[in-house]
Structure formats: structure tokens, C-alpha cells
Structure 1
Amino acid sequence: MKQQKIRAQSMTRRLILWLTGAATAFWLIAAGLGVSVMHDEFGEIFDGSLQETAERLVPMIVTDLDRRKDPAYPPHLRDESDDAGEEYLVYQVRDAKGDILFRSHDAPAKPFGAPLKRGFWTDDTYRFFTATSADHAVFVQVADALANRSEASTEGGMALFLPVLILIPVSVLLIWLIVRRTLAPVDDLRRAIEEKDGGNMAPVPSGTLPRELRPIARSVNHLLTRLQSAFDAEREFTANSAHELRTPIAGALAQTQMLIAELDGPKKRRAQQIETSLVNLGHTAEKLLQLARAEAGIGTGTTRVDLARVLELVVTDFERGDPASRRLRLHRAAGAKLEGTYSEDAFAIVLRNLIENALVHGRADEPVDIRLETNGVVRIVNGAAALTPDELAAIRKRFGRGNTASPGSGLGLSIAERLLQQMNAGFEVLSPATDRADGFEVVLRFGGGEVAG
């Protein structure tokens, strides 16, 4: 059954999206309500203007009609023959029969469809208001085109929505800045907790955290204190166990060797087998103790050290104690240095395991080359048959051993890799070795400390 991958979502991103969406929705709702109210208010304003215009025209037109009966008095109201600009309001003056007495120049030549009755009336094109004289002989019908009202409402709505289109991205930016600034302590706390490992158990600073996050910091600090106590107890147990295990094994081995010197024949061969078993037991116990120390997190360092000096000391120690170590050849590039905040003890354990593996599993007639390069790289190369990718993967596993009859516990590479992880160093196993058709090569790349070359 396939497990579905759940992608972790950012709390900051979700807050920004939700707040932006809510702010945008509120802006749009407010603008929509504003357009609706504005449309109603515009209708009232237009109707008021329409009614006022019609009612003001009635007495003027009645007076003018009375004066027109005198031939000597020239008319002063415009009729359909007048040439003027486009009119916003148009009107017709009609008699009781509905005939047009005169009209504004933009008014249609045919009578309006509005009834000769005082009040408002609307058709598909116009909004009318009809006003009448006191004797109901003259009717003035003023019309306002509905297209004009729609245009005014559209322009008013655009005046409301266009600023919203500008305010939305500005709001997004402000929300992003506010959310990032507000959640910055959360991010600081996350990074502080993320940096904690087996070698960094310093308390999380909580003095600058908001009140809501301080209980989390206190809980984390309590947990770190308990972990530090557990690690200290484990390291103390490991150190004590190393002595307690070595002593009885060394004593049993010494007694067995004395017994071998006193025996002969088949009994001596059996005692020699016991000696071999005790040697292997001591070697395995030593590796298990190294593995326990690696798991306890001894790879991290707090002081600046020179690992190049440690490398030379370990090679010298091998040359003094093991005849097979005459195959070791140390190459140090001119000016190569390897300095930084590392653990000398952990680096020595790594080198001992890797060099021991090279001597034991490499060809006895080929040298083991140890190179310190100027870019913070240490290479250990020995002669051996080329391994397949599956064999390389197998020997990197704990207790993994390749197709070899050489003695060993299968823990050397696991111990080295674990300690190098704690030292923030790269670890690479190659077979065949670089620029060779066979061989075995281990590459250590140091970048966690300050590497000078």
C-alpha cells in the first residue's frame, strides 16, 4: 500500500493567504454595497432633477404660449428648428389631445409614449416626468435617457472599484510584512530548536520571545537538560565499560598465552584457538565501545584543533605498533591545513578504523596511500578488487562484511560514517579508486569547520 506524502504547509503562507482573501472579500463587498447605494441615490437625484425641471418649465411655457397669441411679440422658447448641442434632458410640450406644440431639438418628432398624467413613467429608453398646467390644457413631459443613468452608475462604480484594485496589492504587501514581523519570533524559536543535536544542548534563549512562546521554550530547555544528563551518563558508562571490559579480556589473554607456553601437542593448538578467540573478542569489544561512543555524540567539538597533526600522529602510531603498517604512505600537499572546531578524539577513531580496514582488507603487496589535499579532503586508498555497487552498499551497513576471509567485525565503516556525520564532514566510498581500474578508496570532505589550504 502506497503511503501518501503529506506536504508540510507554512503557517505564514496560510495566514497571508487567508488574511489577503478576507481583506479582498471585504473590499469587494464594501465596493459592491457602495455601488448599490450609489445607484439608488443617483436614481433619486435624477428623478428630483427631472421633476424640478418639468415643474419649472410649466409656468414659463404657459406664459410663453399666452404671449405667442400676440403677433407683435416674438417667441423666445426654442422649438425643433433650434440648433444646439446635445441635450441631457429632452422635453415635449403637448396639448390635451396629445399633439406636440413644440419640443427640444433632441426630442423625438413623435409624441412620447408616456400618458398625459402627472407623475413618473418609464419605458425601455426613457424615464419621464409629466407636469401639467392648472387648467390641464398644457402638458410638459421631460425625459431622461436610461443610458445616461447607466453610464453615470458605471462610472461611479468604476470610481469605487479602481481604488480597490490598487489597495488589494498594497494590502497584500502590508499583510505579508505584518505577518512576517509578527511571526518572526516563531521562526527564531524554530531555528533555535532545529540547531539542537547531540553536541549542542545549550538552552534556547527565551528572554526576547513573546509571552505565548515562552512556555514552549521552557519545555524545550527542560527536555534539553534531561537529554544532556542522559548523554553525560551514557558517556560515563561507556568510559567505565571500556576499562572494565578490556581488563578481564586482557587478563584472560595473558593467562592463555602463558598456558600456551607451558603446553605442547594438541592441547597447545586448542589453547592457541582460545587465544585467537580472545583477540577477536577484544577487537569486537573495542569496536562496540567505539560505536557506543559514536552514538553518544562525541563527534562534535567546541575548540579549534589541527586535524592534520592528529592524522600524522595516528599514522606514526600505526607505524610503531604494526609491522604491516610499513605499507602506509602519507602524502601531504604543500601548505595543506585542516583546522576548525572538531573533536580530535573522534577524528582519531575515524582514521584508526579506516586505516585498519585498508591494511587488513587491502592487498598485502600494495601500499596504502593517505593523502591530505589543500581543499580539506582526506583520501585513503588501498589495492583491492573492484566492488560492485551492491557490495559497496552492503559493507556500509552495520556488521556488513564483503566477500573476504580477513578478520573483522563489520563495524569500522559504520563507526567512521556516524562520527563524520557529527563532524559535518562528507563521507564517500569508491571502488574502483579514482584514476584506477581497481582498488578501494574512502574520501573524507571537511566543510563544517574552517578549512585552510
Structure 2
Amino acid sequence: MKSLRARLSIFLLAAALAAAAATGALTYRNTLSENEQLFDYQLRQTAITLRDQGFATELHALPDSEDPSSVVVQIWTANGTVLYLSHPDSALPDRATLGFSDVDANGRRWRVYSMASRGRIIQVAQPLELRRDLAANAALRSLRPLFVLAPLMALLAWLIVDRALRPVRRLAGEVKRRDALSLESLPEAGLPSEIEPLAHALNALLARLKLAFDSQRAFVADAAHELRSPLTALRLQLQLLERAADEAARRDAAARLKEGVERATRLIEQLLLAARTAPGESGHAPRQIDLAEAVRLAIAEAWPLAEARRIDIAFETGEAAGTEPGDQDAGALLISADGEALRILLRNLLDNAIRYTPEGGHVAAGLRRDGNAAVLAIDDSGPGIAPAERERVFQRFYRGDNPSQPGSGLGLAIVANIAARHGATITLSDSPLGGLRVEVRFPA
């Protein structure tokens, strides 16, 4: 059964019927008990009435409230002589237990009340099956309102469920009317507290989708703009190669064309990395990674470029990397991360530091533990970044006031996306080496 309305209606009706059945059972039992007490009271009052009449030659008739066919009266002396018997064919035993008792006589079970008065025994009796039939009929009459109200209870349960689910239908209709470009928040006013978290979660999802779509649209526009220049440059260099008049000119044009292809290739690679690490994109499942080992592998990968530019790279951990005295050695720091994304982050940080550091300069990678966090610091002896620009450098394609420097303006944007995915924070500051320090704080 998929219908929530049908399920709720059935559950509510079942609960109401179960409550009605329990109420009916208790009412039936109490009514039976009360009728039994009433019948016992009538037997006792009948016996008292006979006692008060005295024992004249003729007994007066029983009270009008008594049914002579259902009540048997027997009076006898202490020596067993029967003085009066209302129904000769329903004689009771000549031995009596004073008070109430159940006896068998003439193939029937009787409820008997006996009392002694003036040397005589008065017995008043009723058949038990008759008493039970009368009590059961009275109890069933008390249950008739429950049977009459059962259909009304079912209708009321259906109407209550229908009214309770109206906000859900309204929310579903609002979602159904949206198209792929309608990512505005759904209205949450007037929603029940049980449905409000669902609407809030949907709005959060719509906000993330809107952010992702806006980011993708801006990325595509920026990428198209950035690719136009290198492609135009490649076309011009190809034309120069075709028009070269001698071998030296051809070699120079070919070298420039090769550099242009390499720059375009790197730009495309960075564009692809930026798209893969953009907000809303899912990566690999995180796993436990030794951050120190990941830094060593990234340094080994960047070593050829550093060697070509005669740049020295150092890797320091623990107190050698600037930790406070008493910090533990960071020789092995485990963090939960996407291994491929972490490799890209480290590679971009080291690549930026190497490319922006003049030849013969220095780059240092430091790793330390700070409380429950693992802190990675990359220092270089390059020109650094002015404090006023340190927030803007995480924007895509932003290259600062000196666009002549090599690069696509995507490296730090990629680093920021990966850090945000891992819950890490990035801080830019002045480096002791004279350039820029990039600090990434990972939750350990």
C-alpha cells in the first residue's frame, strides 16, 4: 500500500476500533456485573417483603416488579415442612445456606437467597441462565451507540488525514510546477513541524544546485574567454611558421608555437581540474591518508620543474617546521581525504610556489600538528601577494596586478575548492623566506 492517506486512515480507524472494542468489552463486563448485583438486590428485597408480610393463611402476591415465571419462592419450617411453594414443579432443596448461593435443582442452576425469620426459612431463587440472558441483553443495548458511531469514526478519520496531508500536496504541487531553471526556495510558511524539515532540506538542495549551476555557467563563460587568447596566439604563431622565410625563422616560430601549445595544454588541464573540483561535484570516497607521505610524493613529482629552475625544496616536520615547543612530531599525520584530490591540491601549491619563485630561490613545505588539526605550510621566496589581493586570488582566472607571470589563474581556485570539500581552511600570509606562505589546516 503506497498511499500515505490510505495507510494513515486505516491505522487511525484500526486504533479507533480497537479503542471502541476495548471500551465495549469493559462496558459489557461492567454492565453484566451491575445487572448481577441488581438481580441479587431484587432477590433479597423479595425475601424481605415476604418476611414483612408475615405468614398468614394466604400470602399476598409478589410485587409487580417481579416476574412470577422467573422467580421461585419457597417457605418451609425448620423441620422441613413446606409452607409455601410458588411453583410446585420447581421445588428447591430443603437445605439452605443463609445468604446467597448457587444450587442445582430440577436440572437447572439457580441463584438462591435464603433467610431465617420466626422459625421459618424463606428462599427466593432465579435461574442463572435467565439472569445471564437478561444481563447480556442489557449490556448489548449499551453498546449500540458504538456500532452506530463506527462509520462516522471512519469518515472522520479520513477527513482528518486528508486535511493533515493538505500541506504535503501543496508542497508537491509547488515542486511539480517548477522547471529545470526554477531554483528559487520553496515557501516554508504554514507547514507543519513534521514537514518543515523536508521543505528546508529541499530548499538547501535547491540552493546548492543554484550555486553549482551559477558556478558552471560562470566557469563556461570564463573558460571561453580565457581560451580565446591562447587559441588566437596559436593561430598567429602557426601563420608565422608558414610565412617563415628561412630556417632560423622557422625554428624560432616552431619554438614559439611549441610554447603556445604547452601553455594551452596546461590551461586546458587546469580547466578540467577546476571543473572536477567545482562546488557540487562529487569526488572519490574519503579514506585515511598519511599527509606527510602525500607531501613527500608531491615534492618528488614537482622535483623536475624545481631542478630545471634551480630552486631548492625543503620538507620540514614537527618543531623544525615552526611548531610551538611541546608539539608532537608530525612524522605521520592521518587525515580523512580523497587521495586524488589531495594530490592535486599539493601539486598546485608546490607548482605555484616554484613557478612564481625566481630561479635559484627557495621553497619549503612544512607540516605540523596543532591540537586536533594537521597544518600544511608552503613557503616561497617569490614576490608574494599584496594583502589587499589575498582574498581575490582564490577567484578563477585572477592573476593579480602582474598578469605577465606564468599561469592560468586557476591554481589557487582549485586549491580552495578541494580544501572546502575536505573542511579545511586556507590562510595566506608573509613567508619567512620573503615571499608568500600558504597555510592549509586540515581536521585530523
TM-score, length basis structure 1: 0.44
Q: TM-score, normalised by structure 2?
A: 0.45
